[in-house]
């Protein structure tokens, strides 16, 4: 059993280290009008188009949960992917305990809203046909990141999930850099 867990951890680590700048189908174009004069000096200087970010996140959530598309490591920053993978495995054989998780991640993320021991995007292990019923920017949005207040409804399972998603531009694409889970 330890061999399987170790192999799984190594596989997740390798996937997290992949080159995140590869263009993937889940990624939306941030701007069609980039020229040599407007290329940002760093990836984080690119401005976020709110409408594009909302459409991208809505598509990613619904496709990921309804059709099994868009692998988590393709739509998240490597750091958030590692964080959520750790959060999911807290308390399981081979995973860290809650104190170690808190020590590792509390300086970067709100570990009280990590969704410890729960799945990615929603806390339910199973889901029916989900729909994003709300996806609006919060006032804390900056040019480096947009915070979207999201409600995900799953009428088949009689469940509603309230989340705040932090979306960052990476090159010409978006990625999820945090999900604050309220329920």
Q: State percent of the chain over pLDDT 90.
A: 48
Kindly report which listed range (37-46, 47-56, 130-139, 167-176) carries the lowest average pLDDT score.
37-46
Q: How far is CA 173 from the centre of its chain?
A: 13
pLDDT-based confidence at residue 27 (cuts at 50, 70, 90): very low
22 or 110, which is more confident?
Answer: 110
pLDDT at 45 over 60: no
Kind of pairing between the strands at 131-137 and 146-154: antiparallel
- What is the pLDDT averaged over residues 7-30? 40
Per-residue model confidence (pLDDT) at position 46:
56
Order of strands, edge to edge, in the sheet holding 159-170? 131-137, 146-154, 159-170, 173-181
Per-residue model confidence (pLDDT) at position 51:
93
Q: What angle do CA 6, 8, 9 make, to 5 degrees?
A: 65
Tracing tokens 């964080």 back to the chain, one arrives at: 83
Closest CA to 131 of 72, 54, 75, 65: 65
Per-residue model confidence (pLDDT) at position 77:
96
Q: Confirm whether pTM is higher than 0.75.
A: no
Per-residue model confidence (pLDDT) at position 125:
74
Closest CA to 151 of 178, 136, 132, 169: 132
- What is the average pLDDT score of the chain? 78
* Residue range 79-134, pLDDT digits in tens: 999 999 999 999 887 778 999 999 999 999 999 999 998 888 888 777 889 999 99
Q: Is 107 exposed, middle or buried (0-12, 13-18, 19+ CB in 10 A)?
A: exposed
Per-residue model confidence (pLDDT) at position 110:
94
Rounded to whole angstroms, the Cα distance separating 152 from 135 reads 9
């Amino acid at each position: 059993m330890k061999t399987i867990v170790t192999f799984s951890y190594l596989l997740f680590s390798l996937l997290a280290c992949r080159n995140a700048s590869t263009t993937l189908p889940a990624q939306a174009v941030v701007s069609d009008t980039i020229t040599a004069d407007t290329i940002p000096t760093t990836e984080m200087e690119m401005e976020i188009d709110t409408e594009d970010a909302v459409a991208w996140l809505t598509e990613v959530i619904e496709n990921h949960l309804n059709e099994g598309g868009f692998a988590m490591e393709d739509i998240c920053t490597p750091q958030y992917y590692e964080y959520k993978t750790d959060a999911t495995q807290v308390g399981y054989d081979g995973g860290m305990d809650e104190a170690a998780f808190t020590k590792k991640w509390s300086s970067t993320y709100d570990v009280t809203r990590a969704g410890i021991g729960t799945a990615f995007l929603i806390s339910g292990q199973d889901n029916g046909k989900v729909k994003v019923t709300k996806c609006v920017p919060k006032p804390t949005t900056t040019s480096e990141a947009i915070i979207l207040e999201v409600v995900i409804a799953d009428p088949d399972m009689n469940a509603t999930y309230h989340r705040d998603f932090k979306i960052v531009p990476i090159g010409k694409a978006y990625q999820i850099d945090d999900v604050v889970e309220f329920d």
